[in-house]
């Protein structure tokens, strides 16, 4: 008699071999992680469908409705030029998420690549890469981003590039430490003994086993799009050139919603 394999068993075994499904299942089992994933998903949906969900254009001005409080017409009120704040926040979320996600991805790719080679090769390669990392860490983050933005010129993409060039150092240090532990494992030694190329060992055997600490590190730079946008506005104002209208983020929409207070100078 031949044993029959149930489809449920096949699905469970395939899901257990898939690291993405295993990670998603672990996140959904954790209450706080599932809540955070839901919030991020809602923000992404609002940002992607901002042209459909926004009741007004973020650039239309109504000077008869300046700094109005929240109402049924304007859900979050208006700013100092009569623009709808809810619409501006929806469009600004697109810029903020774009800055955080793209900067984190570029930093992760560069840092993981440098850390893999430093930890696996060791010796002179490791020493050179780590000294470069230490040189980048000598600069304060904000000063480094402002300097790079001034050198590259004002603009959102240049600030994103500056932020990515600074953020790779954390990924490189974490990746190197994990690779130093993983390269001494028995299955890595077995792969070396049978002549597996070093690049294949790094990509197929070492990298999947160090994903967990890298994921915990990747949430830190992606959580600071407003900080990077603050550096963007500071660097652009220093160069006396404004940002484009489409590059306004959530952080640039909130200050315009507060009334300005002027103090009269007292006569002597």
The CATH number of the domain holding residue 165 is: 1.10.3720.10
Give the per-residue pLDDT at 9.
Answer: 45
Q: Are residues 199 and 100 in the same domain?
A: yes
Give the per-residue pLDDT at 2.
Answer: 47
CA atoms lying within 13 Å on the CB side of residue 143? 5
Does residue 239 fall inside a structural domain? yes
Give the per-residue pLDDT at 8.
Answer: 44
Q: Are residues 114 and 191 in the same domain?
A: yes
**Residue pair 99/229 in contact by the 8 Å Cβ criterion:** yes
Which structural domain, as residue segments, surrounds residue 27? 11-48
Tokens for 150, please give them. Answer: 């001034």
Residues 6+ apart with CB under 8 A from 139: 147, 166
Q: Are residues 128 and 240 in the same domain?
A: yes
Does residue 218 fall inside a structural domain? yes
Does residue 116 fall inside a structural domain? yes
Give the per-residue pLDDT at 82.
Answer: 86
In 3D, which of 110, 109, 122, 124 has the Cα closest to residue 183? 122
Q: Which residues pair with 84 in a beta bridge?
A: 78
Burial 149-176 (b: 16+ CB within 10 A, else e): beeeebbbebbbbbbbbbbbbbbbbbbb
SS3 (DSSP) at 247: helix
236 exposed, middle or buried (CB, 10 Å; 0-12, 13-18, 19+)? buried
Q: Are residues 43 and 141 in the same domain?
A: no
Total number of domains in the chain: 2
Give the per-residue pLDDT at 225.
Answer: 44
Does residue 186 fall inside a structural domain? yes
Does residue 160 fall inside a structural domain? yes
The radius of gyration of the chain's CA atoms, rounded to the nearest angstrom, is 25
CA atoms lying within 13 Å on the CB side of residue 222? 16
Give the per-residue pLDDT at 10.
Answer: 43
Q: Are residues 41 and 141 in the same domain?
A: no
Q: Are residues 41 and 140 in the same domain?
A: no
Does residue 203 fall inside a structural domain? yes
Question: What is the 3-state secondary structure of 159-191?
Answer: HHHHHHHHHHHHHHHHHHHHHHHHCCCHHHHHH
Q: Are residues 106 and 236 in the same domain?
A: yes
Q: Are residues 123 and 190 in the same domain?
A: yes
Q: pLDDT tens string for the chain (268 positions)?
A: 444 444 444 444 444 556 667 767 877 788 887 888 888 889 889 888 988 998 988 888 888 888 888 888 888 888 888 888 888 888 888 888 888 888 888 888 999 999 999 999 888 999 999 999 998 888 887 787 778 877 887 777 887 888 888 888 888 998 999 999 988 889 888 988 898 998 899 988 898 888 877 776 665 544 554 445 544 544 444 443 445 545 555 655 555 556 554 444 444 4
Q: Are residues 101 and 221 in the same domain?
A: yes
How distant, in Å, are the alpha carbons of 80, 112, 268 from that of 263? 18, 53, 15
Q: pTM to 2 decimals?
A: 0.71
Q: Are residues 110 and 202 in the same domain?
A: yes
Does residue 255 fall inside a structural domain? no
Q: Are residues 27 and 133 in the same domain?
A: no
- DSSP-derived letter for residue 84 is B
Does residue 63 fall inside a structural domain? no
Element (H, E) at 132: helix 123-137
Residues 254, 40, 244, 81, CA torsion sign: negative
Q: Are residues 40 and 169 in the same domain?
A: no
């Amino acid at each position: 008699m031949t044993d029959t394999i149930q489809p449920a068993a096949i699905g469970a075994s395939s899901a257990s071999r898939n690291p993405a499904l295993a990670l998603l299942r672990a996140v959904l089992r954790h209450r706080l992680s599932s809540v955070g994933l839901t919030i991020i998903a809602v923000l992404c949906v609002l940002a992607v469908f901002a042209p459909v969900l926004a009741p007004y254009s973020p650039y239309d001005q109504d000077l008869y409705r300046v700094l109005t409080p929240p109402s049924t017409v304007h859900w979050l009120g208006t700013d100092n030029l009569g623009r709808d704040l809810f619409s501006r926040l929806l469009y600004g979320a697109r810029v903020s998420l774009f800055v955080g996600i793209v900067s984190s991805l570029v930093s992760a790719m560069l840092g993981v690549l440098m850390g893999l080679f430093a930890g696996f090769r060791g010796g002179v390669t490791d020493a050179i890469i780590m000294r470069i990392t230490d040189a980048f860490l000598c600069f304060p983050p904000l000063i480094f981003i402002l300097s790079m933005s001034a050198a590259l010129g004002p603009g959102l993409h240049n600030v994103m590039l500056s932020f990515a060039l600074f953020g790779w150092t954390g990924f490189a240090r974490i990746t190197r430490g994990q690779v130093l532990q993983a390269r001494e494992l028995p299955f890595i030694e077995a792969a070396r003994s049978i002549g597996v190329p070093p690049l294949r060992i790094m990509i197929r055997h070492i990298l999947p086993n160090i994903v967990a600490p890298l994921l915990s590190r990747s949430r830190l730079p992606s959580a600071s799009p407003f900080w990077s946008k603050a550096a963007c506005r500071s660097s652009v104002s220093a160069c006396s050139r404004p940002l484009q209208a489409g590059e306004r983020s959530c952080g640039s929409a909130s200050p315009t919603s507060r009334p300005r207070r002027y103090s009269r100078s007292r006569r002597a």
